[in-house]
Structure 1
Amino acid sequence: MATKRRPLRPNIGTSSGSNMNFRPGGPDITRSEARGTRPTAAPTSIREILVMGVIHLCKKTIFFNTDLKVALYLGSLFVVSVIGDFVPFPKTYFARSDNLFNMYFVKVGWGWTLLFVVPFLVLSAYTITCGDHKRMLRHHFPRIVIATFFWFFWTKLFNIVETSYGRCTVKSFQSKPSCLKAGHLWQGFDISGHAFILIHSSLVLIEEARPIIKWETIKEHLRNEMHNRSVSENAGTNPLRGLNDEQMRSLQFLYKRLTPIIRTLFIGMAALQLLWDIMLVGTMLYYHRMIEKVISGIIAILTWYFTYRFWYPTRGLLPEEPGNGTFFYQRETHVFPFKRPSHLSGTTSASGASGPMRANPNGKVGATNVPKDQQMPTFMGMPLFTSPKVATAAASLLQSAQQKREQQQQQQFGADS
């Protein structure tokens, strides 16, 4: 015979609502009892799940290890171009200079890049600056102006080199326009503008798409921070804690309204970046000589390295890196490197318990100098503790480390502004 289930909290009261077996949080619960609880996320729709699946696939495509991709660009430019110079590839439709992709994509490649990058940069930067258009225009938009300048400068320089140091197949024509107008060929050192624009555009797309990394965590930070302010809690390490009420309202409005557009633009950027890589293979096979393509690839990579790896990350210089804003939402994730033997106790040493965290330029974070067998096992990203004392020690250690990081970030932000 089934017995009546005993209520979890018999001392709260005798009303029907208070005897139900739910987690505390009803209207009869005092503030001290409810402290530390967090609101749950809203149910996720099927459409949202499909969109996030596509976003995840695009992230895997576009955020493929950038350093390795740069090495592949240089290596393939050399190897494939050498093969193309000595081994005659079959002449297909893509070998013609008037093919559809060359005429309407590569020749206006920078225009296609700006078509996706400019709105994505403006909307994402406007959101993470909490609607501060002056900060967005000063700290983020100049990156597009700089990239456009380098595109214009290098392509014009390539044309000048070809025109100044070339000659016509017929000696009576001394200038390139007159030689081509007469139907002859102009032979010069033609540094590949095709290879340059494709590599330059691809790297700019990769770097400017980085704000989408951990973009979904902003929603969680908003929900938790709104809850903290509603219960007058000032503790915690929420990156939005330093925002005032007006900035919070602006961020909440902009994130909700602009996130669908930002996601759509990101998917377009990922597809365009993949198209540029495919077109680059055709350029390696059919256009220009090996030395002309390798030089243009080196120039494109050096331009990317100077701007996105040296200039923008330097403190005190404008513009800022992609993803920097009024708050820091792309913070590192944490692991719990504790042992899991059955004799765990609260005497675990805090010093040396957590190893240094290192984030690479591709958005991935990992712990260094921590043996694998020393890390706390997890299930679906959550740590598995075998003792309440260990859980308490881990929570205290994590909270102190987060507070220290938050103070450092606030100091850096104050120094930069």
Structure 2
Amino acid sequence: MATKRRPLRPNLGGGSGPAPNTSGTNMNFRPGGPDISRSEARGTRPTAAPTSVREILVMGIIHLCKKIIFFNTDLKVALYLGSLFVISVIGDFVPFPKTYFARSDNLFNLYFVKVGWGWTLLFVVPFLVLSAYTITCGDHKRMLRHHFPRIVIATFFWFFWTKLFNVVETSYGRCTIRGFASKSSCLKAGHLWQGFDISGHAFILIHSSLVLIEEARPIVKWETIKEHIRNELHNRSISENTGSNPLRGLNEEQMRSLQFLYKRLTPIIRTLFIGMAALQLLWDIMLVGTMLYYHRMIEKVISGIIAILTWYFTYRFWYPTPGLLPDAPGFGSFSYQRATRDSFPLKRHSHLGANSSANTPGAGGASSSRAHTNGSSSREQQIPKFMGMPLFTNVKAASAAASVQQAEQQRRDQQASVTES
């Protein structure tokens, strides 16, 4: 004989006696219906706007570019050093066919590698300025003080090392024909100058690639800023101060600036990021050609080591150090790249699991022990879900419904035990 289906949640209306089915107080639905008070329902977040086909295509391209430019940096550095050594040794002892790319006057060498730092600045400077201006909420003084100096420092190291390479070659070299004491006079006479020529090609390509990778990091989780803005505006409209939204600390003027700048500058930032990914891929291809055809192995390895040490000192030691300027890429008036629980509150408060095990009749020490041992898993199991997503969108509503449901279940169990006895 079929039994009457037990409701998923008790009657929160507080009425006595059976209620008709049309009242909705004993139906099988989750909290959030008409009987939830306004104070409990006010935490429901607004839904995101529908995504257009164009937006989906753009995000697909951005995702592909992220795969290219954010390849494991530590592994890429190891590949740079290993390739400089192995391929250069092969190029020194095994004659490769002399193609068009082996000529020093080829198109890519003249218009890309020799002015490689200019191409790098062409994409990095506007990307850094626009992204830093956005995450500092339009504070141009903070942007200029905390972020723009990174480009100045990177340019200084590029100028310093390339000039030092020229000094080393000029000071510790000699002309193939006697009688020429300087490199310039030797070259003007049509002779060759033999010196320790540290590869400026390898240095500028590796240095530019690593700077591109690091300066592009603000694009990571850039799309979540839109969600944070939407949720924070909703929270402020209902005077809701709970949650861990990273924008909670911004004042009204900063919120307006962030909302405006994000909407206006995001398309430009995405376009620049795509260009940076393409340029970084080009530099890696040009580096392979440099390994094969230009300079000796020791000259290329030393230049690669200098480029990597410069990157490590600035982006891995200097900038992340608290209290030292400039800041690391992506650091602004709020921390949007830090994982938060604000977007999807999947768990209840920790005291619910303990109360559940403590208030259940017949639960002894073993039950209490299991509750403490598997507290997190039991709390997750108590959250009603559909297709893996929680049905409770408000922590207050979830807590209130859970407490009432547990009390009602305890009351029914007590009545059943009395009836059986």
**Shorter-chain TM-score category?**
0.7 to 0.9
1:316 aligns with 2:323: yes
Counterparts of 1:344-383 in structure 2 under 5 Å?
none
Residues 170 and 287 of structure 1: CA distance in aligned 2, closer, same or farther (over 3 Å): same
State the partner residue of 2:45. Answer: 38
> For 1:276, which of 277, 283, 287 is the aligned residue?
283
Q: Report the alpha carbon displacement of residue 10 of structure 1 after superposing the two structures with TM.
A: 4.0
Counterparts of 1:96-135 in structure 2 under 5 Å?
96-135=103-142
Counterparts of 1:85-104 in structure 2 under 5 Å?
85-104=92-111
Q: Report the alpha carbon displacement of residue 36 of structure 1 after superposing the two structures with TM.
A: 1.9
Q: Report the alpha carbon displacement of residue 33 of structure 1 after superposing the two structures with TM.
A: 4.3
Residues 37 and 138 of structure 1: CA distance in aligned 2, closer, same or farther (over 3 Å): same
Counterparts of 1:3-402 in structure 2 under 5 Å?
10=23, 31-332=38-339, 384=388
| 1: CA distance, partners of 2:239 / 2:271 | 37
Q: Report the alpha carbon displacement of residue 32 of structure 1 after superposing the two structures with TM.
A: 1.6
Give per-residue Cα distances to partners, 1:234-277, cap 9 Å, x unaligned. 11100000100000000000000000000000000000000000
Q: Are the counterparts in 1 of residues 199 and 295 from structure 2 also a CA contact under 8 Å?
A: yes
Q: Secondary structure at the match of 2:323?
A: coil
Give per-residue Cα distances to partners, 1:45-77, cap 9 Å, x unaligned. 000000000000000110000000000000000
| 1: CA distance, partners of 2:171 / 2:188 | 17
Q: Are the counterparts in 1 of residues 319 and 327 from structure 2 also a CA contact under 8 Å?
A: yes
Q: Report the alpha carbon displacement of residue 155 of structure 1 after superposing the two structures with TM.
A: 0.0
Corresponding letter in the other structure for 1:140: H
Residues 206 and 180 of structure 1: CA distance in aligned 2, closer, same or farther (over 3 Å): same
Residues 323 and 86 of structure 1: CA distance in aligned 2, closer, same or farther (over 3 Å): same
| 2: CA distance, partners of 1:113 / 1:209 | 12
| 2: CA distance, partners of 1:351 / 1:122 | 50
Q: TM-score of the superposition, structure 2-length normalised?
A: 0.77
Q: Secondary structure at the match of 1:167?
A: strand
| 2: CA distance, partners of 1:9 / 1:80 | 79
Corresponding letter in the other structure for 2:131: S
More helix by share: 2
Give per-residue Cα distances to partners, 1:16-58, cap 9 Å, x unaligned. xxxxx999699x9863242221100001000000000000000
Question: Alpha carbon RMSD of aligned pairs, Å?
Answer: 3.5
Q: Report the alpha carbon displacement of residue 333 of structure 1 after superposing the two structures with TM.
A: 6.0
Q: Report the alpha carbon displacement of residue 321 of structure 1 after superposing the two structures with TM.
A: 0.3
Corresponding letter in the other structure for 1:78: F
Residues 104 and 352 of structure 1: CA distance in aligned 2, closer, same or farther (over 3 Å): farther
Q: TM-score of the superposition, structure 1-length normalised?
A: 0.77
Q: Report the alpha carbon displacement of residue 210 of structure 1 after superposing the two structures with TM.
A: 0.2
Corresponding letter in the other structure for 2:293: Y
Corresponding letter in the other structure for 2:178: K
Residues 352 and 123 of structure 1: CA distance in aligned 2, closer, same or farther (over 3 Å): farther
Q: Are the counterparts in 1 of residues 46 and 230 from structure 2 also a CA contact under 8 Å?
A: yes
Q: Report the alpha carbon displacement of residue 387 of structure 1 after superposing the two structures with TM.
A: 12
Q: Report the alpha carbon displacement of residue 307 of structure 1 after superposing the two structures with TM.
A: 0.1
Residues 387 and 46 of structure 1: CA distance in aligned 2, closer, same or farther (over 3 Å): closer
Q: Are the counterparts in 1 of residues 43 and 240 from structure 2 also a CA contact under 8 Å?
A: no
Residues 129 and 30 of structure 1: CA distance in aligned 2, closer, same or farther (over 3 Å): same
| 2: CA distance, partners of 1:138 / 1:9 | 65
Corresponding letter in the other structure for 1:260: P
Residues 22 and 261 of structure 1: CA distance in aligned 2, closer, same or farther (over 3 Å): farther
Q: Report the alpha carbon displacement of residue 332 of structure 1 after superposing the two structures with TM.
A: 2.3
Q: Report the alpha carbon displacement of residue 9 of structure 1 after superposing the two structures with TM.
A: 8.0
Q: Secondary structure at the match of 1:309?
A: helix
| 1: CA distance, partners of 2:327 / 2:22 | 54
Q: Which has the larger radius of gyration?
A: 2
Residues 216 and 146 of structure 1: CA distance in aligned 2, closer, same or farther (over 3 Å): same
Q: Report the alpha carbon displacement of residue 384 of structure 1 after superposing the two structures with TM.
A: 3.6
Q: Secondary structure at the match of 2:96?
A: coil
| 2: CA distance, partners of 1:23 / 1:353 | 23
Give per-residue Cα distances to partners, 1:62-93, cap 9 Å, x unaligned. 00000000000000000000000000000000
Q: Secondary structure at the match of 2:255?
A: helix
Corresponding letter in the other structure for 1:267: I
* Structure 1 residue ranges without an equivalent (≥5): 1-6, 13-20, 338-343, 355-372, 397-417
Q: Secondary structure at the match of 2:177?
A: coil
State the partner residue of 1:413. Answer: none
Q: Secondary structure at the match of 1:171?
A: coil
Residues 298 and 56 of structure 1: CA distance in aligned 2, closer, same or farther (over 3 Å): same
| 1: CA distance, partners of 2:325 / 2:273 | 24
Q: Size of the alignment, in residue pairs?
A: 352
* Structure 2 residue ranges without an equivalent (≥5): 1-19, 348-353, 358-367, 400-421
Give per-residue Cα distances to partners, 1:359-404, cap 9 Å, x unaligned. xxxxxxxxxxxxxx99x89xxxx9948999xx98xx99xxxxxxxx
Q: Secondary structure at the match of 2:208?
A: helix
Residues 9 and 32 of structure 1: CA distance in aligned 2, closer, same or farther (over 3 Å): farther
Q: Are the counterparts in 1 of residues 244 and 340 from structure 2 also a CA contact under 8 Å?
A: no
Structure ranking higher on relative contact order (CA contacts 8 Å, 6+ apart): 2
Q: Report the alpha carbon displacement of residue 172 of structure 1 after superposing the two structures with TM.
A: 1.1
